[in-house]
Chain A
């Protein structure tokens, strides 16, 4: 046991691929670690559909060209896009090269290279929509990616921003009427939205910006080297060739040289990461997230309990056909990840049934947990002495009456501690519904953590809110267990 613990500890300690940063290290290892997210998809960086395991994309070509210029190898590091900056600051890789937009906030946080791409914010809507300008978006549900300039624009114009992690999902939701529009970079819009015949993209950009390379404030020399290499790629026309190869060269890119100056972190900003304090409104949003977590968990469990009990009764008392279907339900929902079930329910079935995100979250979690509750109830029913059903039957109660008046009231008492335990688990599993755009407690924490550049305070706040919700339930579970064991 102790050897095992030591092994785990060692594994944690010696995480592979942690870059130590700065030019000296990059040079010594002859390797430039660059961070990006494969989920960003074509044309940025993605797995080749024809050669599994090989990553391709215009940013892969840029990374390789840059590394060649610097005389080192390029090494890709997969990282959740919305957490690229915290991961860079942690030292997981040397640079960010993945659709990182040049913003005021990022300029105070990172060294930024000169731009390598000019993008336009494109608004996609359904035909006949009256939304044409940023001001029109006020009060409307507009989809975008988390931590993007588009998100900031939506917030500044009082739109209700619906946040996604993948590129295709915002357009699917727009198609199905769950949102009123999608605001994203033209590269994404052109590939995932504007090509759909049911959608319409506005011809003019609502805003324009640039993609830049991000480097830690402490890595001044690396920043100079990388920016210099990028300048040479632009001057030699190699960058243009890459963009042309990916069919990305169009009139917007003419602005590249005009916009093109690298931006160092202002000297007044200390090299260490500057953390911001949580504001009252952020704390308010946390409470809102916690309330949503409670709402989803309570409703989902409210569905799981009766459904699970019905499945258990069918499995233990019904005929073979019904029993087969109940067993199949339990095995299917227990045997596949709840995350997959949420995706299928929300995106997969959206052509047939259009569920709102909260309803889909409640249904998805409820149906999944019903399979587990069914097994808890089935075990509890089996634990009852056989004589109880016999005695009730001998009094003339029908099978249904025996179940309802004698067996279930007793089995529920037996199941209660396990049910309470499962509710605590559900409370925490509810964080998974963020994949279908619900901003519950955990999602709120990740958003605030990136905004404040601090994971400790939001993390502790998030943990204490979960604890405040689950601890009383754990005590209740113990109390119920003691109470019913004694009887």
Chain B
């Protein structure tokens, strides 16, 4: 599902990714650990095309990305299959919870409103927010916002879900509700192994990584220093 070979990326001459080689099978969950600045988030952003890279090859959900600026249509296709959840949620403040989740299916995929809303309500029920569909983002707690962001990323029926430190911006007492949603999503991925969701999780929470992931990569100075398989 994901194949990375010799991936390099530098910011203003300073290498951030310095030859990353790795691959992830479909339906697997990989946790990325590493100190701040080790290149975890940059690697994730390269996979979604939010960041370009300087050299190497990258294959995700069947799409090949080349170094340099990506074609807009290719990017749109990739992003239809690769969802992203940000540390700071980035919900659209002018849209209700339901509209946040249905925006991309309606606008990008042209899904009829009724169908998109029905799917969105299912996803919101999965993240435990069925009752808050009509709320505005400002009326939600941080944990609730992040759960909406997860539902939004899943709404297009993505094959790969990229999670960039989804619990870091939350107060400790709110983290558990997001962890619980992540467990549920991970269980769904594992139940459908071979055809299900592939997840890459960037986190500082070692316990969460050990609990959810099939494999843990530790990044150091722009390279994967260790890969640890987990028996499930």
Contacts and interface: CB of A to CB of B under 8 A. Distances in A.
Q: Do A and B come from one complex?
A: yes
Contacts of B80: 396
A398 B86 contact: no
B207 interface: no
Contact of B50 (A394, A398, A410, A413): A394
B72 A399 contact: yes
Contact of B90 (A385, A399, A487): A385
B79 A388 contact: no
Interface in B94-150: 94, 103-104, 107-108, 136, 138, 149
Interface in B42-101: 48, 50, 72, 75-77, 79-80, 83-84, 86, 88, 90-94
B8 to A, nearest CB: 22
A268 to B, nearest CB: 71
Contacts of A413: 94
A399 B152 CA distance: 19
Interface residues of A, number: 20
Contacts of A409: 94
Contact of A394 (B48, B72, B138): B48
A390 interface: yes
B187 to A, nearest CB: 24
A385 B92 CA distance: 10
Contact of A395 (B77, B79, B94, B136): B79
B90 A390 contact: yes
A388 B76 CA distance: 17
A385 B149 CA distance: 16
Interface string B155-166: 010000000000
B84 to A, nearest CB: 4
A401 interface: yes
Contacts of A391: 84, 86, 90-92, 149
B138 A487 contact: yes
Given A394-B48, A397-B107, A410 B92 contact: yes
Contacts of A395: 79, 83, 103-104, 108, 152-153, 156
Contacts of B138: 487
Interface in A211-266: none
B173 to A, nearest CB: 24
A390 B156 CA distance: 17
Chain A contact residues: over half helix, strand or loop, or mixed?
helix
Contacts of B107: 397, 401, 405
B60 to A, nearest CB: 13
A387 interface: yes
A77 B30 CA distance: 87
A338 interface: no
A406 B95 CA distance: 9
A390 B92 contact: no
A391 B88 CA distance: 10
B143 to A, nearest CB: 18
B81 to A, nearest CB: 9
A398 B76 CA distance: 7
Contacts of A396: 75-77, 79-80, 104, 108, 156
B108 A401 contact: yes
Contacts of B88: 385, 387
B92 A388 contact: yes
B72 A398 contact: yes
Nearest to B77: A396
Contacts of B136: 487
A391 B48 CA distance: 11
A110 B149 CA distance: 80
A129 B171 CA distance: 85
A25 B156 CA distance: 90
Interface in A458-487: 487
B79 A394 contact: yes
Interface string A322-335: 00000000000000
A394 B162 CA distance: 10
Closest 7 A-B residue pairs measured CB to CB?
A391-B90, A396-B79, A395-B104, A387-B90, A394-B84, A396-B108, A409-B94
8 contacts: A391-B90, A395-B103, A396-B76, A396-B79, A396-B80, A399-B72, A410-B93, A410-B94
Interface of B: 48, 50, 72, 75-77, 79-80, 83-84, 86, 88, 90-94, 103-104, 107-108, 136, 138, 149, 152-153, 156
Given A387-B90, A394-B86, 7 more contacts: A390-B50, A391-B90, A394-B153, A395-B103, A396-B156, A397-B108, A409-B94
